[in-house]
Amino acid sequence: MVTDARELQPGTRLQTDVCIVGAGPAGITLALELSKAGVGVLLVESGGFETDQATTDLNVGDVVGEPYFDLVASRLRLFGGTTGHWEGMCRPLDELDFEQRSWIDKSGWPLGRGDLEPFYVRAQEYCQLGEFDYSYATWAPRVDITPFELPDDQLISEVYQFSPPTRFGEVYRDSVTKGAGIELLLWANLVDIVLADDGSHVRELACRTTTGVDVTVEPKRVVLALGAIENARLMLASTGIASAGVGNANGLVGKYFMEHPHQVPAGFLLVSRSESEMGAIPHQVGATAANGRDVRVVSCMRPTDAFQRTEEIGNAGLVLSQLRLDGEESADPGVLKGLYTDGLSATTMQAILPGSDVTVWSVDIRSEQVPNASSTITLTDELDGVGVPRVAMDWQRAEIDDKTVTVMLAAAARAFGGGGAGRIWAPSPDMALPPSPPGGGFHHMGTTRMAGSAQDGVVDSDCKVFGLGNCWVAGSSVFPTGGFANPTLSIVALAVRLAEHLAK
């Protein structure tokens, strides 16, 4: 059943067992799984089935730290959430990503990769992917490719799988609107999480439409699935009973905001067509998965666990993408994406101009950002159209984040050079990064981090807010560390796991 909140009587009160707020991939997956388990759900969504300017404007916020994308462009506020924009690049987190790593402060999840694996298998289906297998050994033979032998044990080849990409709002619209026990309330913005007087649980959720209709939800249980920025924002803004905000007794809500720094490109791989064995590397291929689905697969290299340990770096994924230099455009060095064209030597430029025997590949590195207390989402004094304080994003990275990329690039240069694949051209001989900082991937993580205790995090291993009897959080805000894998597959896996927990 679907209700337009703008058409309700002002002051309407709604009762429900579970109220999920936010209908992105986290909220939709959770609603569908709970429906299957026979649990009644009210799914409250800020937008509708299409976008609306007044609703989009609620996402306006300040960027005060490292340069970042406009906060409106980074998210979508409608049914289906930001999967209306996403590119579908998927990978699970790696085993080491979950571990406490002595060289990374605040690392370590209170659960292991093994705990998530059964849920990753089901998340693959939601994201319309192949089977849960990201090994190079499985995928390379399916595209008839002889694997490129890496000369040492510093890097390992694996793959990303690409979702079509699944637009959750389109693909799951019917299942949600016709799903047993699911009520969908559109155009309703959560504006206040109201706690019981003793602060022990959420008593009600105050929602408001952009047209000014106030609606109150009285849930037995609540799941916040608003995305990593908005989860923190609403918890910080709800100060009626807990003056520091909901779940924020230890000042951790909004702290440790993380992204995946994208150094795209980190360098260039120059390959001589006649001499190289580059044909052996599947960069971007289509393959048929064991479940019969045609899946686009892209190979990537990442540092082995041993290499991460000895070098004391984070995780990172390196992908090669061939630059198209044949054609009229190619005479213009501007076609080289990235920042380094000014620094390319005349000889190198000669080599990559049309007619030469050289192909050029962009070496793209997407890396882990380690938890950093000074990287934050906070509230400003300005209110949005429904009266909620807007946010300021202060994205900050640490030294180790750059080290991860430079060590990875140097290892790749040794691997490609030593293996006879080609030569990496980097902006400087010591692989230092260019002056301009990298962008991110629109991956917002860490603002309500999961931990073993309330001293270290906002939610426990079941995603339940410490200190509250009936409030959980879904989405990548709960990631205490984020590896390098794009987050959505893990978001969906955690949502399936949370549904199982709530159904019990």
Ligand X SMILES: Cc1cc2nc3c(=O)[nH]c(=O)nc-3n(C[C@H](O)[C@H](O)[C@H](O)COP(=O)(O)OP(=O)(O)OC[C@H]3O[C@@H](n4cnc5c(N)ncnc54)[C@H](O)[C@@H]3O)c2cc1C
Binding site for ligand X (CB under 6 A): 21-27, 44-47, 74-75, 77-78, 81-83, 85-90, 189-190, 225-227, 230, 234, 442-443, 475-476, 486-488, 491
Distance of closest approach, residue 359 Cβ to ligand X, in angstroms: 26
Q: For ligand X, which is the closer residue by CB, 78 or 344?
A: 78
Q: Looking at the DSSP assignment, which residues form a beta bridge with residue 186?
A: 4
Q: Taking the alpha carbons of 225, 227, 230, 236 in that order, is the dihedral positive or negative? A: positive
Distance of closest approach, residue 230 Cβ to ligand X, in angstroms: 4
| Helix, strand, or coil (residue 311) | helix
Distance of closest approach, residue 27 Cβ to ligand X, in angstroms: 6
Q: How far is CA 73 from CA 59, 362, 463, in A?
A: 9, 25, 27
Q: How far is CA 95 from CA 269, 403, 477, in A?
A: 29, 21, 19
Angle 329-331-335 from CA coordinates, rounded to 5°: 55
CB-nearest residue to ligand X: 24
Helix (H) or strand (E) segment spanning residue 4: strand 2-4
Q: For ligand X, which is the closer residue by CB, 82 or 154?
A: 82
Q: For ligand X, which is the closer residue by CB, 267 or 475?
A: 475
How many alpha carbons lie under 13 Å from residue 76 in its C-beta half-sphere?
19
How many alpha carbons lie under 13 Å from residue 250 in its C-beta half-sphere?
17
What is the residue-wise DSSP string for 179-211? Answer: STTEEEEES-EEEEEEEPTTSSSEEEEEEE-TT
Q: For ligand X, which is the closer residue by CB, 58 or 140?
A: 58
H-type helices in 327-461, by residue range?
346-352, 399-418
Distance of closest approach, residue 474 Cβ to ligand X, in angstroms: 7
Helix then strand count (H, E) for the chain reads 11, 19
The amino acid sitting at 171 is V
Q: For ligand X, which is the closer residue by CB, 352 or 388?
A: 388
Q: For ligand X, which is the closer residue by CB, 360 or 493?
A: 493
Distance of closest approach, residue 132 Cβ to ligand X, in angstroms: 15
Distance of closest approach, residue 212 Cβ to ligand X, in angstroms: 15
Closest of 40, 141, 62 to residue 382, by C-alpha: 62
Distance of closest approach, residue 276 Cβ to ligand X, in angstroms: 29
Distance of closest approach, residue 447 Cβ to ligand X, in angstroms: 11
H-type helices in 244-316, by residue range?
305-311
Q: For ligand X, which is the closer residue by CB, 42 or 358?
A: 42
Q: For ligand X, which is the closer residue by CB, 245 or 419?
A: 245
Q: What's the rounded Cα separation, in Å, for the pair 478 and 449?
A: 4
